[in-house]
Structure 1
Amino acid sequence: MAVVSYKCPNCGGELMFDPKIQKYKCEYCFSDFSQEELEALKPEEGSEEKVESYKENSEKENGEAEEAVVYHCPSCGAEIVTDETTAATFCYYCHNPVVLSGRVSGEFLPDKIIPFSIDKKQATEKFLEYVHSKKFVPKAFFNKQQIEKISGVYFPYWMVDMDMEGSMQAEGRNLRVWRSGDTEYTETKVYRVEREGDVHLEDITKNALKKSNAQLAEGVLPYDVSKVQKFHMGFLSGFLAEKRDINREELSAQVQQEAHEYGEKILRGTVKGYSSVSVKNCHLNQKQENWDYIMLPVWTVTYKGRNGKMYYYSMNGQDGKVYGELPIDYKKVWTLGGIISAIVLILGLIGGYLL
């Protein structure tokens, strides 16, 4: 496996993808390069180093040994250990970005990627805006040290397009009620409804990383797929990245079920003009499906509460949508509750005195 570090051809500094300008930028001489220019660049001699894998003695929860990888930073030579799904990271010593190219090659080479559109400054501002809108968040959540923990990570997903042939049999009812004198009449007309047609579904997106919180990973969906690009390792430079460890076969049944539910909803939506509709049968036969392994941008934040509980938050790196459970400062809740109770008591006393 090789460690790749993209170097600026002007000064030799590290190149990192800048979401604001959608180019690769050198933090030293401030040069920037387009995707086409980066693809024309070749890593400098010595910027790729071989790394070795080994099995740690510690075991995963599922009983399997966890693979770790030792690599040497091409900038400072420091030895760094990563876990088995890390695809891009930073050197802990010189902080230069590195990409573990072997983790994003062969069967683990992503088909597509949506680059970050929101940089760290924008992500921090959006996160603080989200937190400030909540009244009972602990003050410690706002401190600088906490906010600096925000990290940009490319998470792996499977994205599926599917074509199906569908047929549906349903029962439609129209109800009419009227009165004549003292008598109320009800008329119910029952209709047999049938629908047939082709159903095309796009961008069914599923988390492809076992260690990630599935709710957080899918809570930031959907993404604007019109911004998708062909995968290039350069996009990972300057960010963290994880490779997939969930195969498409493991998700196939779930995707099929979800596609069937979507398909039935689409066919059901074509039925109009009835007071009520009851679906009796719905059959959907798959004609074709296409799976893409895609990397999506996510900003992540963690916070350890006073109760020892770890809180996790994710933000869509494209539009800033935040998902996660915020901690509650119960002292603020009790204080506010006490103030409201005191006001109610005072108003009650004043009202009684006036009466």
Structure 2
Amino acid sequence: MLDHEVGDEHLSAVCPSCGAQTAYAPGTTSLRCGSCGAQQEIAPSEATITEHSFDEWVARHGGLSVASLAAVELECGNCGARSESTDLASTCQFCSGALVAVTKQEGLVEPEAVLPFHVDRNGARENFRTWVGSRRFAPTALKRVGSTEGLRGTYLPHWTFDAHTDTDYRGQRGDHYYVTRTRRVSDGKGGSRTETYRERRTRWRGAAGSVDRSFDDVVVVASHHLDREQLEKMGPWTLSEARPFQPEYLTGYSAVRYDVDPQAGSEEARGAMREVIRQDVERDIGGDEQRISEMDVTYSRAMFKLVLMPLWIATYLYGGKTYQVLVNANTGKVIGDRPYSALKIAAAVVAALAVIAAVVAIVMATRQ
């Protein structure tokens, strides 16, 4: 049996009242028994969420690839069975108990923080029903899909990066000005008349300078297990609710290990930072338009940490096809796949064309 040691206490993954499996209860600080409902309070951690120096990590482990990392050992908190996996938490194949990693590996970044589940299973189902009911151009029958198959909770790894940036730039500032021009236009009676109008032009001049900005908690998905485009839409996460990592929060859920290493994550984070810096440079150049020819960005005080974020992964069947939906178990936000009704889309197009035809007819009649 696996006991999680917290301070001077031992918190068991098995219910002390009836011996059934417990799981973290979303929105609480307790493990709850799935059989009798008894709860065990998770003692507050004395640890603090700290960040690691990116440069120091690269110096020690920069040549280590994620693929080269071996599996870690997991132990079931119910029957005590052990297995090896690249996941951090899973379900025991023998008794359906909670499997939690009990070994560490050199070079593997351990989770520094966890954002616990806030939306429970029932809440995820309700959010799913609301999401289904709000889909435009969805088949009418989809509104009757009220439940999901295979709803499962999982923690997905994310990197957060901090850095201070100093940027030297070169570019051009464009200021608009107007000149008065004339042209001949039809008078509608077979003749013509002279019309004056203002023409906008842009005066360009060189610009150079520097800007600085500090970034805090730029989030990067650290896993390829799910569609990254959808995962990037799951935020923003309420990182202020993150807690120092304790394995109790993983009890009853799965948790995958990162497969995007810190170096790859850093490159992605710096790409996001550059987009913000570009906006800073445009504001610093000023004027009505800006052209940036060069941005030399220097990064310093780079820090990072690994945070586990909670998701409900739902699948549902419609028309013989399986669709996947993700529910942010921190905020309740829903992102997913859905079918479209070709009939409804065609009807909308026909209606739009009818409106356009009516407007054109009215305009033509008015001119006549």
Give TM-score scaled by structure 2 length: 0.69
Contact 2:168 2:209 in 1 (8 A): yes
Look up the match of 1:7: 14
Q: Which amino acid aligns with 1:311?
A: Y
- 2:330 is equivalent to residue 321 of structure 1: no
Q: Which amino acid aligns with 1:126?
A: N
Look up the match of 1:133: 134
Tell me how far 1:140 sits from its aligned partner: 6.8
The one of 267, 271, 274 equivalent to 1:257 is 271
Tell me how far 1:297 sits from its aligned partner: 0.7
Contact 1:138 1:327 in 2 (8 A): no
Query: What is the alpha-carbon distance in structure 2 between the residues aligned to residue 164 and residue 193 of structure 1?
Result: 20
Structure 1 unaligned regions, length at least 5: 40-63, 345-355
Structure 1 stretch displaced more, 175-184 or 150-159 = 175-184
Look up the match of 1:91: 92
Look up the match of 1:195: 209
Tell me how far 1:202 sits from its aligned partner: 2.1
Structure-to-structure mapping, 1:302-317, within 5 angstroms: 302-303=315-316, 306=319, 308=321, 310-317=322-329
Cα distance per residue 1:309-346 (max 9 Å; x no partner): x432212111111122212355x649x849x89xx9xx
Query: What is the alpha-carbon distance in structure 2 between the residues aligned to residue 326 and residue 264 of structure 1?
Result: 36
Partner SS, residue 36 of structure 1: coil
Contact 1:3 1:98 in 2 (8 A): no
In the superposition, relative to structure 1, how do residues 178 and 166 fare at CA in structure 2: closer, same or farther (>3 Å)? same
Look up the match of 1:278: 291
The one of 223, 230, 254 equivalent to 2:237 is 223
Contact 1:3 1:101 in 2 (8 A): no
Look up the match of 1:25: 32
Q: Which amino acid aligns with 1:32?
A: Q
In the superposition, relative to structure 1, how do residues 104 and 130 fare at CA in structure 2: closer, same or farther (>3 Å)? farther
Look up the match of 2:310: 297
Give the superposed CA RMSD. 3.9
Contact 1:85 1:103 in 2 (8 A): no
Query: What is the alpha-carbon distance in structure 2 between the residues aligned to residue 110 and residue 252 of structure 1?
Result: 17
Structure-to-structure mapping, 1:45-64, within 5 angstroms: none
Partner SS, residue 150 of structure 2: coil
Structure-to-structure mapping, 1:138-177, within 5 angstroms: 139=141, 142-143=144-145, 146-177=147-178
Cα distance per residue 1:211-259 (max 9 Å; x no partner): 3322232221221211121111111012221111221123343333332
Look up the match of 1:59: none
Query: What is the alpha-carbon distance in structure 2 between the residues aligned to residue 306 and residue 105 of structure 1?
Result: 48
Structure 1 stretch displaced more, 128-137 or 261-270 = 261-270
Partner SS, residue 132 of structure 2: helix
Contact 2:72 2:103 in 1 (8 A): no
Query: What is the alpha-carbon distance in structure 2 between the residues aligned to residue 306 and residue 114 of structure 1?
Result: 36
Q: Which amino acid aligns with 1:258?
A: A
In the superposition, relative to structure 1, how do residues 75 and 276 fare at CA in structure 2: closer, same or farther (>3 Å)? closer
Query: What is the alpha-carbon distance in structure 2 between the residues aligned to residue 185 and residue 306 of structure 1?
Result: 57
In the superposition, relative to structure 1, how do residues 142 and 241 fare at CA in structure 2: closer, same or farther (>3 Å)? farther
Q: Which amino acid aligns with 2:242?
A: V
Q: How many residues align?
A: 310
Structure 1 stretch displaced more, 118-127 or 27-36 = 27-36
Structure 2 unaligned regions, length at least 5: 5-11, 47-66, 183-195, 355-368
Query: What is the alpha-carbon distance in structure 2 between the residues aligned to residue 112 and residue 70 of structure 1?
Result: 21
Query: What is the alpha-carbon distance in structure 1 between the residues aligned to residue 199 and residue 158 of structure 2?
Result: 57
Counting aligned pairs with the same residue, the percent is 19
Cα distance per residue 1:119-138 (max 9 Å; x no partner): 11111101110011124247
Look up the match of 2:56: none
Contact 1:141 1:303 in 2 (8 A): no
Q: Which amino acid aligns with 1:87?
A: L
Contact 2:75 2:101 in 1 (8 A): no
Query: What is the alpha-carbon distance in structure 2 between the residues aligned to residue 67 and residue 287 of structure 1?
Result: 32
Relative contact order (C-alpha < 8 Å, sep 6+): which is higher?
Answer: 2
Structure 1 stretch displaced more, 29-38 or 115-124 = 29-38
Query: What is the alpha-carbon distance in structure 1 between the residues aligned to residue 44 and residue 243 of structure 2?
Result: 16
